[in-house]
Amino acid sequence: MTDAPNYGFDTLQIHAGAHPDPATGARQTPIYQTTAYVFRDADHAAKLFNLQEVGYIYSRLTNPTVAVLQERIATLEGGVGAVCCSSGHAAQIMALFPLMQPGNNVVVSTRLYGGSITQFSQTIKRFGWSAKFVDFEDQAAVEAAVDEDTRAIFCESVANPGGYVTDLPGIAAIADKVGLPLIVDNTSATPYLCNPIAHGATLVVHSMTKYLTGNGSVTGGVVVDSGKFDWGASGKFPSLSEPEPAYHGLKFQETFGPLAFTFHGIAIGLRDLGMTLNPQAAHYTLMGIETLSLRMERHCENALKIAGWLESNEHVERVTYAGLDSSPYKARAEQICPKGTGGLFTVALKGGYDACVKFVDSLALFSHVANLGDARSLVIHPASTTHRQLTEEQQIAAGAGPNIVRISIGIETADDLIADLEQALNASA
Ligand SMILES: *Cc1c(COP(=O)(O)O)cnc(C)c1O
């Protein structure tokens, strides 16, 4: 695609980053299933290795199929660059890696995907990093949690799965005030429904495993950079502002300007951590993104209809969907993601744990799986699966109490989904 700053989202989701293949004219982006790329000569090779010229060396770092996907997502999110990686969790490590040294911490929202809570509360400690969990509804507490060793603030736009919408402009204002980057996980909303960069985010991360691919076929992640953060201003981010010994003292910010974070992600992050996305996975995700807006519209329409239906069902205690009038976050959702709040919510059943298990086992069209953001409707009972290691108190704090079922509404016919839910609710009571 040539310069076209005014194309709409539906055009960009198909064309951004892609060109007919120069060798064959292939209109669809080829899957460049290759590990290495032939150098023109020894001088060309030397320049590539010194980062004096941009080009392909080895597919742990860069690959033409993956590069198209990176440019497409950066464009849709309004960023300057993006680095794809092997999963959403890899993307979170790749986002923090250039920012954090041993002893540093990140201030994170308590309302996060369960796997992110484990990654931040347990695993990152092995790197000498730590996370401070704060309720992001209490913005004074977010600011108070920031100390000299804090290097980032992390939250989800629409939090998975409890129907919580973060006040992104409010949190971004705190990040600005304390001079730290704001990292937003935009997995549940997607760039079609929400653009965190427009609300002040520095970096955006995704699990591409979910809505971006949209059919439950791959695992992938991405980090998008807004290009707006001044990494040298505070002296807190030496990896990006100070000389890098592994590249003859090159300074990423001085050399690459707004692309410093993206180049660091490839030249240091992928080179040494190796959490690379493979070109087959990039291909499936590119196919998925071509229909992102159409799918998200249907996910939102179905979810709103079904959440409303569930709310009035006699076996249901409450439904947490931010699109419902009953949601305390409805007004905020209209500000942050005006086109809709996605396909995810939780439902609390009056019958408690036993009713939830019977309900999940009785569904026929919904699949009982540990995934979300698929074209097909999915369901899980966190207390008996993903959150079963936690105490009941911890489960309730995580929005995954014994009576809670998480639902990911697909793009099937809404009435068929309602009929399935109705028979399973009756069977559960
Ligand atoms: C699934 C998910 C992740 C983790 O992504 P993987 O691709 O499974 O590693 C992170 N954040 C959110 C909001 C998710 O839904």
Q: What is the pLDDT of residue 399?
A: 80
Question: How many CB atoms are located within 10 Å of the residue 248 CB?
Answer: 9
pLDDT (tens digit per residue) in 57-80: 999 999 999 999 999 999 999 999
| DSSP secondary structure code for residue 5 in this structure | T
Ligand 1 neighbourhood includes 162 CB (under 6 angstroms): no
Distance, C-alpha 41 to centroid of its chain: 40
Gyration radius of the chain over CA positions: 22
pLDDT at 207 over 90: yes
pTM of the model: 0.96
**CA 329 vs CA 174, 189, 341, 348: distances in Å:** 20, 14, 10, 18
Measured over the CA atoms of residue 282, residue 285, residue 289 and residue 291, the dihedral's sign is positive
Mean pLDDT on 248-252? 93
DSSP H helices in 247-291:
252-256, 260-264, 271-273, 279-289
pLDDT (tens digit per residue) in 196-205: 999 999 999 9
For residue 86, the CA-to-ligand 1 centroid distance in Å is: 11
Q: What is the pLDDT of residue 246?
A: 87
- Domains of the chain, by residue range, sit at 9-288, 293-428
Mutational test site, ligand 1, from 94, 113, 119, 183, max ligand atoms within 8 Å of CB? 113
Ligand 1 neighbourhood includes 206 CB (under 6 angstroms): no
E strands within 276-388? Answer: 316-320, 344-349, 367-368, 378-380
Enumerate residues 6+ apart whose C-beta is below 8 A from 18.
1, 29, 68, 72, 286
Whether the CB-CB separation of 377 and 409 falls below 8 Å is answered with: yes
Pairing of strands 203-207, 221-225: antiparallel
The lowest-confidence range among 141-150, 384-393, 396-405 is 384-393
One-letter amino acid at 342 equals G
pLDDT band, very low/low/confident/very high, at 396 (cuts 50, 70, 90): confident
Mean pLDDT on 179-187? 98
Q: What is the pLDDT of residue 4?
A: 56
Q: What is the pLDDT of residue 380?
A: 95
Provide φ and ψ at 132, rounded to 5°. Answer: -110, 115
Taking the C-alpha atoms of residue 84 and residue 73, their distance in angstroms, rounded to an integer, is 9
pLDDT at 2 over 70: no
Nearest to 345 by CA among 420, 262, 293, 405: 405
CATH architecture of the domain 9-288 equals 3-Layer(aba) Sandwich (3.40)
Instruction: Give the mean pLDDT of the chain.
Output: 95
pLDDT at 98 over 80: yes
Nearest to 118 by CA among 414, 382, 403: 382
pLDDT at 161 over 80: no
Mean pLDDT on 188-192? 98
One-letter amino acid at 21 equals D
- Strand order of the sheet with strand 150-156? 81-85, 221-225, 203-207, 182-185, 150-156, 105-109, 130-134
Whether the CB-CB separation of 402 and 352 falls below 8 Å is answered with: yes
Nearest to 12 by CA among 20, 21, 4: 4
For residue 371, the CA-to-ligand 1 centroid distance in Å is: 9
pLDDT at 363 over 60: yes
Q: Is 391 exposed, middle or buried (0-12, 13-18, 19+ CB in 10 A)?
A: exposed
Concatenated DSSP letters of 189-224: THHHH--GGGGT-SEEEEETTTTTT-SS----EEEE
Q: For residue 207, what are its two tokens?
A: 């699990």
pLDDT (tens digit per residue) in 289-335: 999 999 999 999 999 999 999 999 999 999 999 999 999 999 999 99
Whether the CB-CB separation of 112 and 118 falls below 8 Å is answered with: no
Whether the CB-CB separation of 402 and 383 falls below 8 Å is answered with: yes
**CA 8 vs CA 12, 182, 293, 298: distances in Å:** 6, 26, 11, 19
Q: How many residues does the chain have?
A: 429
Taking the C-alpha atoms of residue 271 and residue 60, their distance in angstroms, rounded to an integer, is 7
Options 3.40.50.2000, 1.10.3720.10, 3.90.1150.10, 3.90.550.10; which CATH number does 293-428 get?
3.90.1150.10
Question: How many CB atoms are located within 10 Å of the residue 284 CB?
Answer: 18
pLDDT (tens digit per residue) in 260-296: 999 999 999 999 999 999 999 999 999 999 999 999 9
Mutational test site, ligand 1, from 118, 155, 160, max ligand atoms within 8 Å of CB? 160
Atom of ligand 1 nearest to the CA of 209: 7
Measured over the CA atoms of residue 406, residue 108, residue 67 and residue 11, the dihedral's sign is positive
Mean pLDDT on 78-106? 98
pLDDT at 38 over 60: yes
Atom of ligand 1 nearest to the CA of 89: 9
pLDDT at 3 over 60: no
Half-sphere exposure for 368 (CA within 13 Å, toward CB): 17
Ligand 1 neighbourhood includes 104 CB (under 6 angstroms): no
For residue 205, the CA-to-ligand 1 centroid distance in Å is: 9
